[in-house]
């Protein structure tokens, strides 16, 4: 089994903009990081707090988003930044930001992808650990029939199939797509897909004090007849975004994956749960797994 070499950035990159939850103006820096340090997020507005590793161990429960927390510092909505990094196979990066969440951009990963591609990538000497799916894993949601499973795949890559069906009365049409991972395909077919929300859900969030600065132009807000004040970038932009979310959430495992993940209406909580189950049922192949490498 040939492992891929780890990558980091050639130089630092910056994105700025409004955080969707808090409405705060945020500056975020991506910095190169040494091999085997993974992705970490550091709150510059909380002096003295350490970088938070973007791994499953530091995920804290949230509705409709991924958040990580350590030592009194929390970063909300990490998933679209993580998707941009994982989509480009950037394994080591220190993400510093001056607020509780990254800039939301247009609700996709495009703003991060552009900054990261401008900075450029460098290959490092250490190998990227790999997890090869050998056992079937499966997690179901408590409500709404959501389910996600993971199992072996004949190809040596990560494959994600996502099916989204919110029923006949939803303004979001049923849609399904399979993504056989490559950075090129991620950038072209998925990185532009924006987060989406129903008008009623947006109103409920605003009532809770979230998203007060968001307007329909900032992301996809669905009314009864489709997106309000906005046009879809692809008819199936929603399922593309759900796959983008999976790429970002699966990166919390901190390794490459060879396996087929099949999701039906899955969200962040189920994505985390399947990753925990997959990690518990498998061993990582890394620099120290000489037997596996020679046997492969
Ligand atoms: Zn998302």
CA of 295 from ligand 1 middle (Å) equals 39
CA of 74 from ligand 1 middle (Å) equals 18
How confident is the model at residue 197, as a pLDDT? Answer: 92
Residues of 243-256 as b/e, b for ≥16 C-beta within 10 angstroms?
Answer: bbbbbbbbbbbbbb
Q: Both tokens of residue 126?
A: 């250490």
Among candidate residues 29, 241, 258, 268, the one labeled active-site is 268
Separation of alpha carbons 115 and 29, rounded Å: 10
Inter-residue contact 40 to 94 (CB < 8 Å): yes
Q: Both tokens of residue 224?
A: 């009864």
| DSSP helix, strand, coil percent of the chain (3-state; round to 5) | 25, 30, 45
Inter-residue contact 194 to 107 (CB < 8 Å): yes
Inter-CA distances, 218 with 23, 25, 108, 227, Å: 12, 14, 10, 11
Q: Both tokens of residue 292?
A: 């596996």
Active site residue 241: no
Separation of alpha carbons 278 and 206, rounded Å: 36
pTM of the model: 0.95
CA of 243 from ligand 1 middle (Å) equals 9
Largest Cα–Cα separation, the chain? 58
User: Which segments of the chain are extended strands (E)?
Assistant: 5-9, 13-18, 25-32, 39-43, 52-53, 59-60, 67-70, 73-75, 93-97, 121-127, 130-132, 137-140, 147-151, 158-164, 175-180, 196-198, 220-223, 226-227, 256-264
CA of 242 from ligand 1 middle (Å) equals 6
How confident is the model at residue 142, as a pLDDT? Answer: 85
CA of 71 from ligand 1 middle (Å) equals 26
CA of 125 from ligand 1 middle (Å) equals 32
Q: Where are the domains of the chain?
A: 5-295
User: How is residue 285 annotated by DSSP?
Assistant: B
Please tell me whether residue 111 adopts helix, strand or coil conformation: helix
User: Which pLDDT tens digit goes with each residue over 170-221?
Assistant: 999 999 999 999 999 999 999 999 999 999 988 988 898 888 888 888 889 9
CA angle 188, 253, 283 (to 5 degrees): 125
Backbone angles phi, psi at 79, to 5 degrees: -65, -35
Tell me the CATH architecture of domain 5-295.
Answer: 2-Layer Sandwich (3.30)
CA of 287 from ligand 1 middle (Å) equals 33
Separation of alpha carbons 290 and 11, rounded Å: 33
| pLDDT string in tens for the chain (296-residue length) | 789 999 999 999 999 999 999 999 999 999 999 999 999 999 999 999 999 999 999 999 998 999 999 999 999 999 999 999 999 999 999 999 999 999 999 999 999 999 999 999 999 999 999 999 999 999 999 877 899 999 999 989 999 999 999 999 999 999 999 999 999 999 999 999 999 999 998 898 889 888 888 888 888 999 999 999 999 999 999 999 999 999 999 999 999 999 999 999 999 999 999 999 999 999 999 877 754 444 44
């Amino acid at each position: 089994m040939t492992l891929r070499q780890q990558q980091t950035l050639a130089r630092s990159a910056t994105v700025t903009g409004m955080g969707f939850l808090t409405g705060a103006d945020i500056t975020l820096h991506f910095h190169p990081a040494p091999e085997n340090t993974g992705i970490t997020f550091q709150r510059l507005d909380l002096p003295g707090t350490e970088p938070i590793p973007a791994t499953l161990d530091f995920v804290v429960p949230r509705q409709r988003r991924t958040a990580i927390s350590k030592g009194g510092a929390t970063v909300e909505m990490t998933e679209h930044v993580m998707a941009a990094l994982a989509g480009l196979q950037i394994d080591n990066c220190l993400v510093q930001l001056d607020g509780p969440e990254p800039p939301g951009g247009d609700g996709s990963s495009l703003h991060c992808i552009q900054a990261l591609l401008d900075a450029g990538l460098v290959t490092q000497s250490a190998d990227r650990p790999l997890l090869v799916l050998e056992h079937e894993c499966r997690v179901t949601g408590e409500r709404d029939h959501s389910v996600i499973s993971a199992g072996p795949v004949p190809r040596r890559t990560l494959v994600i199939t996502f099916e989204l069906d919110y029923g006949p009365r939803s303004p979001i049409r049923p849609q399904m797509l399979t993504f056989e991972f490559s950075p090129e395909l991620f950038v072209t077919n998925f990185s532009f897909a924006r987060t989406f929300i129903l008008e009623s859900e947006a109103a409920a969030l605003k009532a809770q004090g979230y998203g007060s600065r968001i307007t329909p132009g900032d992301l996809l807000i669905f009314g009864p007849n489709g997106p309000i004040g906005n046009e879809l970038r692809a008819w199936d932009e929603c399922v593309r975004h759900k796959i983008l979310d999976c790429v970002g959430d699966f990166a919390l495992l901190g390794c490459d994956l060879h396996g087929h993940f099949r999701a039906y209406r899955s969200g962040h909580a189920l994505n985390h749960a399947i990753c925990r189950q997959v990690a518990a049922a498998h061993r990582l192949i890394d620099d120290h797994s000489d037997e596996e490498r020679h046997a492969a």
